[in-house]
Structure 1
């Protein structure tokens, strides 16, 4: 750094690495909370329990935003110093605090709603509630109504991958066009086309989306659970039809 102070950013880089690790823990917490909420919906737990998970997600989203702003403030400060090459070593703490405060002053509730993991949580939870018809009444009559609704809902869903033409085991949804594919199948196509330096058109017939990227794909947990639920029901029905229900077992014993 000619004619200026020679500043080492090794400590700053180490701090940034630690902060990003903390952010990864937040994301892990959001993933766990999302799966807990799905479990609650699938097992027809009280709506208040599900709502509490949404509140937890909002708290995580707020922490994620704050940490992102702090990381951005540090990175912008470092870039500023490297660009300006000051003669004297500046007060890094004050500069970071100034930029962080400016970023935080622009906070709004919509920021949290736009958090990628929170948006995924809301979207998938909405689908889950439709599939499993979440109700607080756990009476037998209510459960029978839920089972009927599940059957109707699942019969209307497409569990077949447009690539493999087989039932999906690990479905992923394209955030751009909304279509779902078997994860391994779409990733294989993306990798092959990438090597050929070509774009990937959505395999769903009639879809105009012509540039499918790996970053656009996200696990469709709601669809996976619907497929698993249908398979369990089909297996249970098959067992009964083959004479393996509990009453038959008692007779055979």
Structure 2
């Protein structure tokens, strides 16, 4: 009876591990999205404070930026361990000791220089803080935010539910890439030789935040434009004065 139970558990373990792994990855992406959104709001505040020369608050935001940088790095570290674990599960080599080790390693706070992180560089750009440029690194970073396209290379429309190909880092709309995969297994970006499969694609939360930010900015601009172009209303006093004007 014990042998039968152990056999049943052994057979059920891979499926159970896959479910747990899927949940962990989903949670990791959600936390990453909240992290990026939080940092995005911080940068907006830094940009406004720059005009008021409020050094105390800028310094506080700078320290918070470093914490965001550490958190983002730790999330990336955690995802790397999940990817390794996924390979182990797919191969059928379930080693509890190794899995525990991977989990422990993923929870270790990374030793890093937060001022080298992209978050910190972007914060300094928004806050008007000059940084010493390290080669072309800063130039490349400053261009990445403004030039990254939100247009799907398949549909040529703004992406919805963006998915990233880890092999080449290209991102596509979910609906578009599903349709493309029915015709070709090659990345649809011109000149990219990478192969792809839908199961290997992962959620691009950075693109999700970028699209939401641009939509919000466009909506605010439309609102301001409409307000500026709307005909000026008259006050009650002005209307009364106009009514009794005699030529």
Name the TM-score class by shorter chain.
0.5 to 0.7
Structure 1 segment 82-101 matched on structure 2, within 5 A: 100-101=96-97
Structure 1 segment 5-16 matched on structure 2, within 5 A: 7-8=3-4, 9-14=7-12
- Listed one character per residue, the Cα deviations across residues 68-117 of structure 1 (whole Å, up to 9, x for unaligned) are 799799x658xxxxxxxxxxxxxxxxxxxxx655x47997x9x859xxxx
Q: Aligned to 2:209, which of 225, 228, 249? A: 225
**Matched residue, 1:123:** none
Do residues 214 (structure 1) and 205 (structure 2) align?
Answer: no
**Matched residue, 1:134:** 123
Partners of 1:157 and 1:48 in 2: CA distance: 24
Q: TM-score, normalised by structure 1?
A: 0.54
Partners of 1:70 and 1:152 in 2: CA distance: 38
1:249 CA drift (Å): 9.6
Q: 1:178 to 1:240 in 2, by over 3 A?
A: same
Structure 2 stretches lacking a partner, 5+ long: 43-60, 108-116, 131-141, 237-247
Partners of 1:65 and 1:207 in 2: CA distance: 24
1:215 CA drift (Å): 2.8
Partners of 1:142 and 1:58 in 2: CA distance: 26
1:250 CA drift (Å): 9.8
- Which shifted more, 231-240 or 61-70? 61-70
Q: 1:252 to 1:204 in 2, by over 3 A?
A: farther
**C-alpha contact 2:74 2:106 (8 A) present in aligned 1:** no
1:243 alignment partner, SS class? helix
Q: 1:62 to 1:161 in 2, by over 3 A?
A: closer
1:62 CA drift (Å): 9.3
Q: Aligned to 1:178, which of 143, 146, 169? A: 169
CA RMSD of aligned residues (A): 5.0
**Matched residue, 1:196:** none
Structure 1 segment 99-110 matched on structure 2, within 5 A: 100-101=96-97, 103=98
Do residues 200 (structure 1) and 185 (structure 2) align?
Answer: yes
**C-alpha contact 2:154 2:180 (8 A) present in aligned 1:** no
Partners of 1:204 and 1:68 in 2: CA distance: 27
**C-alpha contact 1:164 1:185 (8 A) present in aligned 2:** yes
Partners of 1:249 and 1:238 in 2: CA distance: 18
Q: TM-score, normalised by structure 2?
A: 0.55
Q: 1:67 to 1:249 in 2, by over 3 A?
A: farther
